[in-house]
Amino acid sequence: MRRALNIGLCGLLLLNMAYVISGVRRYPMNSIDVVGIWLLKAKAMFSEKKIVTSVLKNPKYSYSHPQYPPSLPFLGWGVYESGGRIDERRVLLIYPAVYAAILTLTYGVMRKLNWGQTESLALTYMYSMFSPLLAQAGRKQAGNADIWLTLIYWAMLFLFFAGKTGKLRRVVALLSGAAALIKTEGILSAAAILFIPGKRNDKLIWTAAALAPFVLWEGAKKIWGIEADYGLHWPGAGGGASRAAAVVLGTAKEMANVRNWYVFWPVMVLATAGGKVKERPRQFALPVLLIMAAGMWGIYTMGEIPVGDYFSGSTDRLLLQLSPFWWTVFAEYLKVNRDTLAGLLQKLQRTF
């Protein structure tokens, strides 16, 4: 029976792969961010054969956020060069592969958390169905940056739980640096280094190393005269409180969005806060999650853009970025404190 369940769950995961590939074929270039930010710059780089394109310095293109890190435009440029022409479909087809890698790592982390094969597949399937993930994997949002951060964070978690701490700090520093060159908030993942067991000096050295790519890009922008279209400022105590309230309410509203997250967030609250906690999970995913969430939400509180307009459109992608951490925390708590999933699987076995 377990074997039949495993085959069924693998079939459901493969179905999702087909679903996102179908989405890339049917709905390419539907995301304005992909058109106006990431592939616009890739196209400019391909056309002008240089990194600092006229687009990055032209106020007319300020909507493309010239200050954003250059990794994804580089990737697009590389794909265009390899094909000798601009063909977005070739770039977008990378995204189902990213999705597949994310699901493989999700399964790997679940196994490292000592879930059985069937339960790990079930948890991977449940995670694979979140709409913001499916969207960026190919359903109308392929080409965006957030899913790359999701991939990087799953890789960090997998390496942490694989227990190879010898070179873990330097690998996580490398991954964190790469994340910061995809989207600026990726730099917050450098906090993960602080929670890898080891000497304090080592932690500080590798955290500084993780910050280096971010600092280099900031310096490059100054040297090349690339202006940001928005920045951060201290809104004052009253303004800050008002913006913070909007951010918290916006987040709560998104968490209640059943189309995106089903009933995950209420279940998450029950799994982590409800009832007695028999055993606390290892101190990695949860503290990193809390630090990154505080950093992201803090940035929105201090941003120059009106928070009401901007935040509501960003909450789902922020939650997607953080999903490796909160899904791991959920799976950890479920493992040590609840038999809910095991009970569900037993019911399924009895039913079929």
Partner 1 sequence: MGIWFGALLVRSVQHVYRIVKEAGEQPTLLHEQIRGCGDASKVASDEQREVFNYRTLGEECDAL
- Chain positions contacting partner 1, by CB under 8 A: 12, 15-16, 18-19, 22-23, 25-30, 32, 35-36, 39-40, 43-44, 47, 54-55, 58, 60-61, 63, 86-89, 122, 125-126, 129, 262-264, 267, 340-341, 344, 347-348
Least distance between partner 1 and beta carbon 65 (Å): 12
Our CB check for partner 1 shows the closer of 18 and 245 to be 18
Beta pairing partners, 232: 303
Of 212 and 258, the one with the shorter C-beta distance to partner 1 is 258
To partner 1, the closest distance from the beta carbon of 335 in angstroms equals 14
Compute the distance between CA of residue 210 and CA of residue 169 in angstroms, rounded to an integer: 10
Sign of CA dihedral 268, 269, 275, 279: positive
Please choose, from the candidates 40, 54, 51, the residue with its C-alpha nearest in 3D space to the C-alpha of residue 74: 51
Q: How far is the CB of 97 from partner 1 (least distance, A)?
A: 18
Nearest distance in Å: CB 44, partner 1:
6
Shortest approach of partner 1 to residue 250 CB, angstroms?
22
Structure tokens at 285: 């995913």
| Tokens coding 247 | 């951010």
SS3 of 335, please? helix
Other C-beta atoms within 10 Å of 139: how many?
20
Residue closer to partner 1 by CB (options 35, 244) is 35
Pick between residue 41 and residue 169 the one whose CB is nearest to partner 1: 41
C-beta closer to partner 1: residue 120 or 176: 120
The string of DSSP codes covering 45-107 is HHHHTSSS-HHHH-GGGGGG-TTS-SHHHHHHHHHHHHHTS--HHHHHTHHHHHHHHHHHHHH
Q: How far is the CB of 36 from partner 1 (least distance, A)?
A: 5
Kindly tell me which of 36 and 287 has the beta carbon lying closer to partner 1. 36
